[in-house]
Structure 1
């Protein structure tokens, strides 16, 4: 998918309403999205909103806290997860 990381960054920023904190272009692929070292400081409600948007836009679903923690720690992890899930659907 062309520009998938940028598309995901836009989803993250829009759904978490953090456009006043960072732009999608400023968000680095490997920087943390959650926790004390995160410039965005996302929380569980943000994760839920992002998960719903991923389902709507890509048909990809993150189920449960464990999957969110594993695949949504940064944009790079989330990009890999979305690519893997989309490739499963085309097989």
Structure 2
């Protein structure tokens, strides 16, 4: 069962990266966001777009390359990061 934030993030990614033929309801919170196994079909350039969208929308800063790689593993890892950052890190 995905959280409201995970669902919201799926919608954000679909809208921001112009993903077609995928709905937020179809995406499992554990599904990879980026790479060949991603239903979003996102690549490293899209990852930058997602980072920017998340920073603008949620007011959290995703740090260097290693942090963004870890945070963008799945909707769940991204939602957990946002929640943790908004609650004071």
Report the TM-score, using the length of structure 2 for normalisation. 0.87
Q: How many residues align?
A: 87
Q: Which residue of 2 aligns with 1:70?
A: 70
Distance 2:29 2:38 in 1: 12
**Post-superposition shift, 1:30?**
0.4
**What are the ranges of 5 or more consecutive residues in structure 2 without an aligned counterpart?**
none
Deviation readout 1:2-35 (Å, 9 max, x if unpaired): 71111111111111111x1311111111011122
Asked if structure 1 preserves the Cα contact closer than 8 Å seen for 2:34 and 2:47, the reply is no
Q: Which 4+ residue blocks in structure 1 deviate beyond 4 angstroms? A: none
Structure 1, unaligned stretches of length 5 or more? Answer: none
- The DSSP-based 3-state class of the residue aligned with 2:88 is helix
Does 1:44 find its partner at 2:44? yes
Indicate the residue corresponding to 1:35 in structure 2.
Answer: 35
- The alignment's TM-score, normalised by the length of structure 1, stands at 0.85
